[in-house]
Amino acid sequence: MAQVRPMRADARRNRERLLAAAVEAFAAQGEGASLDDIAKRAGVGAGTLYRHFPTRRALLEAVYSDRIEAIAERAGELAERLPAGAALVAWLNELGLGMIQMRGLRALLSSSVGGGEEAGRGAGGASSDCCDPLRQAVARLVGDAQGAGELRRDVGAMDVLRLVHGVAMACGEAVGGESVGDAGDAGDAEGAEDVGERLRRYVGLLMEGLRARG
Amino acid sequence: MAQVRPMRADARRNRERLLAAAVEAFAAQGEGASLDDIAKRAGVGAGTLYRHFPTRRALLEAVYSDRIEAIAERAGELAERLPAGAALVAWLNELGLGMIQMRGLRALLSSSVGGGEEAGRGAGGASSDCCDPLRQAVARLVGDAQGAGELRRDVGAMDVLRLVHGVAMACGEAVGGESVGDAGDAGDAEGAEDVGERLRRYVGLLMEGLRARG
DNA sequence: ACCTGAACACCGTTCAAGT
DNA sequence: ACCTGAACACCGTTCAAGT
């Protein structure tokens, strides 16, 4: 699977620069950042970007695959330290937080989980993609939790993944502000809730619905 | 609030044509449909489109405000016919279905509810927008359900709106296909589930979590 | 083998000129 | 008062020419 032939030195360096520029650009501008700009900031021609990363999605994957694998590995650690149900909740919170903090990651999972079409998968639709580790992780945690009688058996791992993805999208950006003088139509303490807090709250509510009832 | 002066006949006709073209375009191409194309299909110059609808969001609102109001009004009907909890569930299902069927509507609610930034609100951020009827509708249904002891009191109307919005996004397009040979990692009967079915299932799970516990 | 940058097609947005 | 369409800036993508 690894490179058949080592890359030429300049090619390798250009790839590195492109990735560095892309990380910054995606973080600042979001997953729709201008590819031309990324190439410029990396100091290479536009063609070079396309040679290394033929699609925007390929670039996104290259940028985020490390983080994705890191999150997936957390599943194992949490599974050892916590009871099955708690491990699942904790992991879902970490995943959701990752999606909120890294818009590119959210876009990737979006197109990989069937949630929307930002950064589409391309017509080919090769099912195997960089989010497979996440799928495996959630499958394990969900299986454990069901085995321990802490999770309903009529939901699948993909359901859980999709729901948390949706909930994370629903939490919104780290924009802060929430439309100022809102004629109190939202009943409760809405005021200055942190996005992270809100995520935890929503994941909690969701899990309440997914919990197996005695 | 209505037009101060009646529009000139040609202006009115152009507006009509633009709206008709936009309805088709948003339905076919999604909320990102080319504005230039819409103007062309309507048989008017690009400038005319901008005169009538200065932003993409303005056009989206003009296209969907009728449907939005129709959905909002359904809340009243359902509230009369059903017990509070059931009315809320039924309405959320209708809203979710609307968002799945009309991508433009989803985009509108998205930027209005703080969920994402597709079709952004513009820097002004005028809090009043076309989704207000939805907010009022959900506020009423949520209030009723809480009053009847059928819904937790620690969630606000906006929470419910955001969560259903997220869940609807999580259900995905009416694309049908779900990536073909998926090495059964998703536990359950995933096979040929309709998007509408899935939405109902997800809304049901969510409500299970939001229900007031005796 | 890889890179460059000009070239092309496309889109959003503005605005001078028309009626 | 409203419309038109050319003009501009910007972006993604390709490809002939370079090293």
Q: What is the pLDDT along chain A (214 residues), one digit of tens a residue?
A: 555 678 888 999 999 999 999 999 999 998 999 999 999 999 999 999 999 999 999 999 999 999 999 999 999 999 999 999 999 999 999 999 999 988 889 889 888 877 554 444 444 444 467 899 999 999 999 999 999 999 999 999 999 999 999 999 888 764 322 222 233 333 344 456 788 999 999 999 999 999 988 6
Confidence of residue B130 (pLDDT cuts 50, 70, 90): confident
Alpha-carbon torsion B167, B170, B175, B179, what sign? negative
Instruction: Pick A179's closest partner by Cβ from B30, B127, B208.
Output: B127
Please check whether residue B104 is in contact with residue B64, taking contact to mean a CB–CB distance below 8 angstroms: yes
Is the CB of B6 less than 7 A from some atom of nucleic acid strand D? no
Per-residue confidence (pLDDT) for residue B189, from 0 to 100: 45
| Shortest Cα–Cα distance, A145 to chain B (Å) | 13
Secondary structure, 3-state, chain A? CCCCCCCCHHHHHHHHHHHHHHHHHHHHHCCCCCHHHHHHHHCCCHHHHHHHCCCHHHHHHHHHHHHHHHHHHHHHHHHHHCCHHHHHHHHHHHHHHHHHHCHHHHHHHHHHHCCCCCCCCCCCCCCCCCCHHHHHHHHHHHHHHHHCCCECCCCCHHHHHHHHHHHHHHHCCCCCCCCCCCCCCCCCCCCCCCHHHHHHHHHHHHHHHHECCC
Per-residue CA distances from A166 to A1, A73, A159, A163, B128 (Å): 33, 22, 10, 5, 25
Q: How confident is the model at residue B74 (pLDDT cuts 50, 70, 90)?
A: very high
Cβ separation A187–B117 shorter than 8 A? no
Give the 3-state secondary structure of residue B46: helix
How far, in Å, is the CA of A58 from the C1' of nucleotide D19?
28
Query: What is the model's pTM?
Result: 0.85
Q: Say what the pLDDT of residue A214 is.
A: 65
Predicted pLDDT at B126? 47
In this complex, which protein residues place their C-beta within 7 A of any atom belonging to strand C? A 5, 7-8, 10-11, 14-15, 43-48, 51-52; B 32, 34-37, 46-47, 50, 54-56
Q: Tell me what pLDDT residue A151 has.
A: 96
* The pLDDT of residue B184 is above 50: no
Two structure tokens written together for A158: 């993909």
B-chain residue closest to A175, CA distance: B114
Give the span between the Cα atoms of B66 and B76, in whole angstroms.
16
